[in-house]
Each structure stands twice: as C-alpha cells, then as structure tokens.
C-alpha cells in the first residue's frame, strides 16, 4: 500500500519530532487559514493522537481586513474537521503602535495565543514558520546590521514563551503541496503580497537572489540562522559564566580585559540590561582607551567609572548621559 504524499510525510515527520515525549500534554496550533498553518494543523491532527498528545487550534482574527471573520471561521472549521478540539476563533484588537503594523499585529497575536494556551492548559503553542520565513528573517537581520543574534533567526523551541516551530526545515512549497494532497483549501492573505510591509519586500527579493546567484539561497540563509544561533547561544553561555564569576562591583580591569570582546560586550549587557550600543562602546573605552574619563552614565541612574585598576559602579548625578 503506497504511503502518504511526500510533502504530507515531511510535515508529519517534522511534527512527530517535536511532539515525541509529550505524551499526556496538550498543544495548541496557531492557525491563520494559510497553507503553512493548515498543513501544520493537519500534521498535528494526524500525529498527536498516536503520541497520546491532545491537539487544539486557535485562530486569531486580527480584524484588519474586510471579511476576516469569515476567513477565521473557515480556518477553525477546517481545524475542527481535522480533529483538533477545541478549535477556537479569538478576535483581537490591534493597537496602532510606533513599531509599525507588522509588530503590532504580531504582539497582539502572541498575547492572545498565550492567554488561550493557558486557558486550555496547553504546554506549547505550535507555529507554522517555514524555511522560507527563516530565510526572510535572516535577510532582514543582515539588512539591519544589528549583530549575530539578529541573523540567528527563529528557534525551533522557544521555551521562554512556550513556542515550537516544527516547520523550519519545511518549505512553503511543501506546505502547499501537503494541503493540496489532503484536500485542504487555504487562504492567500493579500497582505503577504503588499509591498508596504518590510517582510513582503524581503520575500519578493529572494526569488531574484535565487535567479542571480543560483538555487540554494533560501536554504543557505536558513542554514546561516542555525549556525549563528549555535554561536550566539554559546557566547551567551560564556557571558553568563563570566558575569557570575565577576560578582558584585568593583570589578578588576584585568579580569574584564581578559574576556574576548564578543563575550565581554554580552557581559556589559548583563550587568547593565538597559544599555544601548553607544553605552557599551563607551564602557569598552574604559578598558582599552582610558585616559582619565570621569565615567559613563548609563540608563538606570548608574555611573560606571574606572579608578585604581577597578571598574566602579555608583549613582549617577545625571540621566543616561555619556561623560568623557
């Protein structure tokens, strides 16, 4: 007897890997009605009962488009027909924030998903981000030039927020093929083609990069995320260990100077969590370019200064100013 369609098999295998060992728990699938999340819902509905895991679905209606209520209701209906119970629709009000509509919608969505998961007693929220989404995230991080963590992309397991992304090695084409093979009708969100959104512009660039540089750009960017995440996690671990070893101030200049710069910058951020890059650059100068500066005023009402081979911390007479 022939097995399932290859795309269906790939989605199920991806879900099986993340649900293995979760017997007796409940998970929630975040479903928009698009191909990615419907393929995820179908894979969870198939695999969860076989692993003694309870599967539910939550569809968030952002109310940003005409007919969004009908789209959400249809998505919940399909999730329920697949066997995910309950399959709920939650309406959310998206606040207009300075960070832009994409961030505002995402923040509102994650907030209601977290609340719904708690209400349902779920241990995790499953999101349908694909390898294509990961590549877009890395491309945006590279464009911003904001460091290693920004190109580390999304993690499969985000324990802090209870998020799981099984499809980071699955392509968008595979999710569409999986839906087609299972007779699922997905919704193409017109916002996904609207160039006003930064991510959409990144999505439109990727095919051109593939044409210019050859196939494999998306896979390469996704692989970059995995490598960068591993490196960033390792540096964060070293910084946590170094911070604990320093103890309370004052700190010997010699001890801080022995740390390699990427670790030391992370240590500064742990010691002074509200600092921006400009403050960390100034703190670095206390070690490597010190010429009797009065000190550095960092956010939180703190002044950091150097005296007699030690870095001292005390109250700041000013507010978040750089004093040279």
The β-bridge relationship of strands 163-164 and 124-126 is parallel
Q: Which CATH architecture has domain 247-315?
A: 2-Layer Sandwich (3.30)
Q: What is the pLDDT of residue 144?
A: 86
Which residues are bridge partners to 303 per DSSP?
A: 297, 314
Q: Where in the chain is the domain with CATH 3.40.50.620?
A: 6-221
Helix, coil or strand: residue 283: helix
Tell me: is residue 35 an annotated ligand-binding position. yes
Q: What is the pLDDT of residue 243?
A: 98
> What's the burial of 152, exposed, middle or buried (CB within 10 Å: 0-12/13-18/19+)?
buried
- 218/133 Cα distance (integer angstroms): 9
State which CATH number among 3.40.50.620, 3.30.565.10, 1.10.1660.10, 3.40.50.2000 fits the domain covering 6-221.
3.40.50.620
How many Å is the Cα radius of gyration of the chain?
Answer: 24
Q: What is the pLDDT of residue 283?
A: 96
- The half-sphere exposure of 269 on its side-chain side, counting CA atoms within 13 A, is 14
- 282/288 Cα distance (integer angstroms): 10
Conformational region of residue 252, where left means phi above 0, alpha means psi within -120 to 50, and beta covers everything else: beta
Q: Where in the chain is the domain with CATH 3.30.465?
A: 247-315
Cβ density class 219-245: b for 16+ within 10 Å, e for less: eebbebbbebbeebeebbebbeebbee
Nearest to 246 by CA among 225, 227, 263, 228: 263
Please give the chain's pLDDT, 324 residues, in tens.
Answer: 578 999 999 999 999 999 999 999 999 999 999 999 999 999 999 999 999 999 999 999 876 677 778 999 999 999 999 999 999 999 887 766 556 667 777 888 888 999 999 999 999 999 999 999 999 999 999 988 878 998 999 999 999 999 999 999 999 999 999 999 999 999 987 777 878 888 889 999 999 999 999 889 999 999 999 999 999 999 999 999 999 999 999 999 999 999 999 999 999 999 999 999 999 999 999 999 988 888 899 998 999 999 999 999 999 885 545 555
Q: What is the pLDDT of residue 230?
A: 96
Q: What is the pLDDT of residue 93?
A: 74
Tell me: is residue 37 an annotated ligand-binding position. yes
- 114/247 Cα distance (integer angstroms): 35
**Signed CA dihedral, 90, 196, 277, 137: sign only:** positive
Tell me: is residue 33 an annotated ligand-binding position. yes
């Amino acid at each position: 007897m022939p097995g399932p369609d290859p795309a269906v098999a790939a989605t199920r295998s991806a879900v099986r890997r993340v649900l293995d060992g979760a017997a007796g728990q409940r998970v929630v699938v975040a479903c928009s009605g698009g191909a990615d999340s419907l393929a995820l819902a179908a894979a969870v509905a198939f695999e969860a009962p076989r692993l003694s895991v309870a599967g539910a679905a939550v569809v968030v209606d952002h109310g940003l488009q005409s007919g969004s209520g009908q789209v959400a209701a249809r998505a919940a209906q399909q999730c329920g027909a697949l066997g995910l119970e309950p399959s709920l629709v939650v309406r959310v009000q998206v606040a207009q924030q300075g960070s832009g509509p994409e961030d505002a919608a995402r923040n509102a969505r994650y907030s209601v998903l977290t609340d719904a998961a708690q209400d349902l007693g779920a241990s995790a929220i499953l999101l349908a981000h694909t390898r294509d989404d990961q590549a877009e995230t890395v491309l945006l991080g590279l464009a911003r030039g904001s460091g290693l963590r920004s190109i580390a992309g999304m993690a499969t397991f985000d324990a802090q927020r209870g998020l799981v992304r099984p499809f980071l090695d699955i392509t968008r084409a595979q999710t569409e093929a999986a839906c087609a093979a299972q007779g699922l009708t997905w919704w193409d969100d017109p916002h996904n083609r609207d160039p006003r959104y930064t991510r959409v512009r990144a999505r439109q660039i990727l095919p051109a990069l593939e044409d210019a540089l050859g196939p494999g750009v998306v896979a390469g960017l996704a692989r970059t995320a995995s490598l960068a995440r591993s490196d960033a996690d390792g540096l964060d671990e070293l910084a946590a260990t170094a911070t604990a070893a320093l103890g309370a101030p004052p700190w010997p200049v010699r001890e801080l100077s022995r740390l390699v710069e990427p670790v030391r910058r992370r240590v500064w951020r742990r010691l002074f969590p509200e600092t921006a890059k400009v403050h960390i650059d100034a703190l670095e100068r206390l070690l490597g370019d010190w010429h009797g500066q009065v000190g550095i005023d960092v956010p939180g009402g703190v002044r950091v200064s150097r005296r007699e081979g030690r870095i001292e911390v005390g109250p700041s007479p000013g507010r978040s100013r750089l004093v040279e």
